[in-house]
Amino acid sequence: MDFTVQNYKDTRSGFGEGLLEAGKRNPKVVGLCADLIGSLKMDAFAKEFPERFFQVGIAEANMIGMAAGLSIGGMVPFTGTFANFSTARVYDQIRQVVSYSNKNVKICASHAGITLGEDGATHQTLEDIGMMKMLPNMTVIVPCDFNQTKAATIAVAEHEGPVYLRFGRPKVANFTPADEPFVIGKAQMMQEGTDVTIFACGHLVWKAVQALPILKEMGINAELINIHTLKPLDVEAVIASAKKTGCVVTAEEHQLNGGLFDSISQVLSMNCPTPIEPVAIFDQYGQSGTPDELMKHYHLDTEDIVAAAKKAVARK
């Protein structure tokens, strides 16, 4: 894959553009937002389709219930708020009326992870992937950049069933091809390699891309796979790559418990036990700071992926 940076954009803006496009393609697509229209970049959809947009106020539980009701009536509802208000705050609502009831609701979560930055730990959700992954019927998607988030938003509108779509706040490298169709559940091969496999998701994919040439200089030919769909996991792709390279690194902006490391470890331990090294948050809360400072402080940076890869290779 060509890793040329086209521009620097926030993934939430990809969601906003994708939602507008999905709304144009399907008149049943509706939007709901809990007083964060600007932050979620839902303005364009709300302006274009005012009758299909529901400002619910700061009432996330009601928003999830309403979304379930709208889906019963045949609509395709997209709810929008920050990741913590999209998950932990409304977990029982999602569990009962969305996932257990198997409703066609798309829970769209912005400002996920440590890169939310200065607002601090109350808003830095690092547990959401785990919570959503545990719910039967739920699909969990974490795209890596603007283009992919836009494509994923369009794809989930066409997918029948509950979806959790996670994206973030800061402007990051936008490097995947524009208008590349998003295939739910299919791991994305970013670069083939032979010595170690890096499985990454979200903002960590770009960090991993930057690790590739550094590893190359060290004589490590790394394979990079973007696990944009955490659930259902592309089990075949994970096993095939792990068998080929013989050791694995996972990289995510999430707690070690419940996240990508958890999913990959599960597959490997059941199918082909392989040395695995995580880049993740280790059972702690975040704090205020700039996104770049926080990624460095919590060891979610390119150099941490490089170190993990070296360690994994040494364990072979």
Partner 1 sequence: MEINQLKDVASQVRRDIIRMVHGCQSGHPGGSLGATDIVTALYFDQMQINPEKFTMDGAGEDMFFLSNGHISPMFYSILAHRGYFPVSELATFRRLGTRLQGHPTTAEGLPGVRVASGSLGQGLSVAVGAAQAKKLMKDDHIVYVLMGDGEQEEGQIWEAAMYAPAKNVDNIIAIVDYNKKQIDGPTDDVLNLGDLRAKYESFGWRVWECNGNDMQEVVDTLTKMRENAHKGQSQVLLAHTEMGMGVDFMMGTHKWHGVAPNDEQAANALSQLKETLGDY
Q: Which residues in this chain contact partner 1 in the complex, by CB under 8 A?
A: 30, 51-52, 54, 56-57, 59, 61-75, 77, 92-93, 95-97, 100-103
Q: What is the DSSP letter of 218?
A: T
Please classify residue 60 by burial: count the beta carbons closer than 10 Å to its beta carbon, then call 0-12 exposed, 13-18 middle and 19+ buried: buried
Q: Closest distance between partner 1 and the C-beta of residue 80, in Å? A: 15
Please classify residue 240 by burial: count the beta carbons closer than 10 Å to its beta carbon, then call 0-12 exposed, 13-18 middle and 19+ buried: middle
Decide whether 160 or 283 has the Cβ nearer to partner 1. 160
Decide whether 2 or 51 has the Cβ nearer to partner 1. 51
Decide whether 58 or 270 has the Cβ nearer to partner 1. 58
Q: Closest distance between partner 1 and the C-beta of residue 137, in Å? A: 9
What is the C-alpha separation between 144 and 168, in angstroms, rounded?
9
Q: Closest distance between partner 1 and the C-beta of residue 28, in Å? A: 8
Q: Closest distance between partner 1 and the C-beta of residue 40, in Å? A: 19
Q: Is the separation of the CB atoms in 202 and 168 below 8 Å?
A: yes
Q: Closest distance between partner 1 and the C-beta of residue 159, in Å? A: 17
Q: Closest distance between partner 1 and the C-beta of residue 65, in Å? A: 2
Decide whether 92 or 303 has the Cβ nearer to partner 1. 92
Order of strands, edge to edge, in the sheet holding 76-82? 53-55, 29-33, 76-82, 106-110, 163-166, 139-141, 229-231
Decide whether 39 or 102 has the Cβ nearer to partner 1. 102
Decide whether 41 or 52 has the Cβ nearer to partner 1. 52
Which pairs count as long-range contacts for 23-27, CB under 8 Å and 24+ apart, including other chains? 23/48, 23/49, 23/52, 24/48, 25/154, 25/157, 26/76, 26/157, 26/158, 27/52
Order of strands, edge to edge, in the sheet holding 222-226? 188-191, 222-226, 196-200, 248-255, 276-281
Amino acid at 192: E
